[in-house]
Amino acid sequence: MVINTLEIKKNIIHSILDFSINIDSNKKSGLYSLNQISEMLSLAIEINNLINFLDKDGSKYTPALIKPNMPVAELSKMKRALELSLKYKSDINSIAIDIGENLSSTNRYLQKGIDYIFDNIKNRDFKMPAVSPNPTPQQAPRPIPTPTKKPLPAPKKQSVGLMAPLMFFIVLGVAGVVVYNSFFDRSATKTVSLVKEYRSDRKLSSIDRPDQSSELKIYGTKAILNVFEDLQTAFKSGNPKIPFSIEGGDSGIAIRDLIDGRVSLAASSRIPTVIERKKAIQAGKPLSDHKIALDSVVVFVHASNPISVLSVEDLKKIYSKSDLSWKDLQKENSSDQKIARFSLSKESGTYAFFMDRVMYSEPTSDAVIHIYTPDKMIDLVASNPYAIGVASLSALMNRKDVKVLKISSVFNETGTKPLTDSGSMDSTLIQRGEYPLTRYLYLISAGELTDSQAKFIDFMRSPQAQAKLVDYGLVGVI
């Protein structure tokens, strides 16, 4: 198999980051000098810094920073794509869905992002000091240069190798936090259970696992649990000895209850955050994410609203401004009445997804009204000609009193939505990643899986359950 330039560069960066994470074992191995270790750590810190500064003002970091000439919104997507690829080693399909772009655009972000890292790394000096090819114990130490003949120039790019002892301790001090966080970032997605069990096509219950005598409690997003409610008789028939209960709620609460041991599985519309993963690891129960379905987050308005397309930038403006009318968006035939904005609770996975994908972590306006249940929010929008709401497509499949809008982007100005003109779900569009607000839904486990947990996850990935997903506005992953 021919490996292209992008893959070669990615592998180089992976090697550097892996080296910094496994620094203790590399030090103990005796294969590397202090100079080599300090230089590799310096490179790892530099790579992390370059990624972190993508969507910030680079001039405060270094005047020599070569920054991609892109809008901040695109830089944020590039930053996210690099983090997923380099830190989580996600495949390009997962990255495309996460950032809401097609495969071609996602690959472009990765290519430009990797080039950005290499272009800036070349501006830094990480050379190894020159050494004799066959050093001996009797060899005299290398003399330290002094400015007796000619003053040394100002150190623009000082070699790390020339000040190894001092740099080693400085780098270790600075790297402490970086390596600590990098370890949890990576271990959170590289735990033994996750590496073995993340694949959707693997039957988890085929492995011998401890039985769970207590009730199997599943809590979280109704987008997944609604499907199971229709199929629970079939699950009981195949697993008569597994007592279970299901309850709908917010993804954030579900993950918190999972870590605290109050539930067996969390049904979530987002992956756990780094903070949540750290907490779980510290409790001895690393989290594993099991993909169940593809879901689309949709924006909807009153059925009489003449607007049919909004851009991601429009949405950000609507939800961040304190007062805004439809006419302020410069849409034809729109009203000068103020927009009534609704969102799900801040604990919901849909809100977290919207903040990440649309708001880019910019806070929403205090005027936004947060509603706990999507059905209630849809009712409010359906009764207000000037309202707008955001929810999972699964919550709107049987609602005819609101209108789902198309979402445009710089790659598709006409906009797309996960519904056809007849109102049925456009599964192909969703699977290709052409709708920008598509996400995965997960069942999340903590620690080693029990037999009952594995059987429940397998059931939700079974052909019977996956075929049922389309009735709820979801697309299967098998």
Tens digit of each residue's pLDDT (9 = 90 or more) over 190-240: 333 333 333 444 578 777 777 766 789 999 998 899 999 989 999 999 999
Q: Is the dihedral of CA 160, 163, 168, 173 positive or negative?
A: negative
Residues 6+ apart with CB under 8 A from 443: 218, 224, 265, 266, 267, 268, 290, 292, 456, 457, 460
Q: Which two tokens stand for residue 430?
A: 């969703």
Q: Which of 62, 58, 22 lies closest to 40 in space, CA to CA?
A: 22
Q: Does residue 145 lie in a domain region?
A: no
DSSP assignment string, 352-393? HHHIIIIITTPPPPTTPEEESSHHHHHHHHHT-TTEEEEEEG
Q: Does residue 304 lie in a domain region?
A: yes
DSSP assignment string, 290-311? EEEEEEEEEEEEETT----EEE
In this structure, the answer to whether residues 326 and 377 fall within a common structural domain is yes
Q: Which of 115, 120, 118, 145 lies closest to 130 in space, CA to CA?
A: 145
In this structure, the answer to whether residues 48 and 177 fall within a common structural domain is yes
CATH code at position 280: 3.40.190.10
In this structure, the answer to whether residues 340 and 454 fall within a common structural domain is no
Q: Does residue 419 lie in a domain region?
A: yes
313-330: per-residue pLDDT in tens?
Answer: 999 999 998 888 888 887
Q: Does residue 38 lie in a domain region?
A: yes
Q: Which of 311, 312, 371, 363 lies closest to 341 in space, CA to CA?
A: 371
In this structure, the answer to whether residues 304 and 376 fall within a common structural domain is yes
373-386: per-residue pLDDT in tens?
Answer: 899 999 999 999 99
> In terms of pTM, does the model score above 0.85?
no
DSSP alpha helix (H) spans, 191-221: 192-197
Q: Rg of the chain over CA atoms, in angstroms? A: 26
Residue with tokens 């401004």: 321
In this structure, the answer to whether residues 283 and 403 fall within a common structural domain is no
299 φ, ψ to 5°? Answer: -110, 130
CA distance 414 to 106: 20
Q: Does residue 354 lie in a domain region?
A: yes
Residues 6+ apart with CB under 8 A from 467: 476
In this structure, the answer to whether residues 210 and 274 fall within a common structural domain is yes
How many residues in the chain?
A: 478
CA distance 111 to 7: 9
In this structure, the answer to whether residues 9 and 80 fall within a common structural domain is yes
Residue type, 82: L
Q: Which domain holds residue 454?
A: 194-293+441-476
Would you report the helix, strand and coil content of the chain in percent, each value rounded to 5? 45, 15, 40
In this structure, the answer to whether residues 314 and 283 fall within a common structural domain is no
CA distance 114 to 112: 6
Exposed, middle or buried: residue 108 (CB in 10 Å: 0-12, 13-18, 19+)?
Answer: middle
In this structure, the answer to whether residues 340 and 214 fall within a common structural domain is no
Q: Are 91 and 189 in contact (CB under 8 A)?
A: no
How many domains would you assign to the chain? 3
Per-residue pLDDT of the chain (478 residues; tens, 9 = 90+): 334 677 778 888 888 888 877 777 777 777 888 878 887 888 888 888 888 888 775 554 455 678 888 888 888 888 888 988 888 777 777 787 778 777 778 888 888 989 888 888 876 554 433 433 444 444 444 444 444 444 544 444 444 443 444 444 444 444 444 444 444 444 333 333 333 333 444 578 777 777 766 789 999 998 899 999 989 999 999 999 999 999 999 899 999 999 999 999 999 999 898 899 999 999 999 999 999 999 999 999 999 999 999 999 999 999 998 888 888 887 666 778 899 999 999 889 899 999 988 998 788 999 999 998 899 999 999 999 999 999 999 899 888 899 999 998 766 788 999 998 888 888 888 888 889 899 999 999 999 899 999 999 999 999 999 999 999 999 998 7
Q: Does residue 456 lie in a domain region?
A: yes
Q: Which contiguous run of DSSP H or E holds residue 275?
A: helix 274-282
CA distance 418 to 416: 7
349-380: per-residue pLDDT in tens?
Answer: 899 999 988 998 788 999 999 998 899 999 99
Q: Does residue 137 lie in a domain region?
A: no
391 φ, ψ to 5°? Answer: -160, 170
In this structure, the answer to whether residues 207 and 277 fall within a common structural domain is yes
In this structure, the answer to whether residues 224 and 328 fall within a common structural domain is no
Q: Does residue 152 lie in a domain region?
A: no
How many other C-beta atoms can be found within 10 angstroms of the C-beta atom of residue 88? 17
In this structure, the answer to whether residues 289 and 315 fall within a common structural domain is no
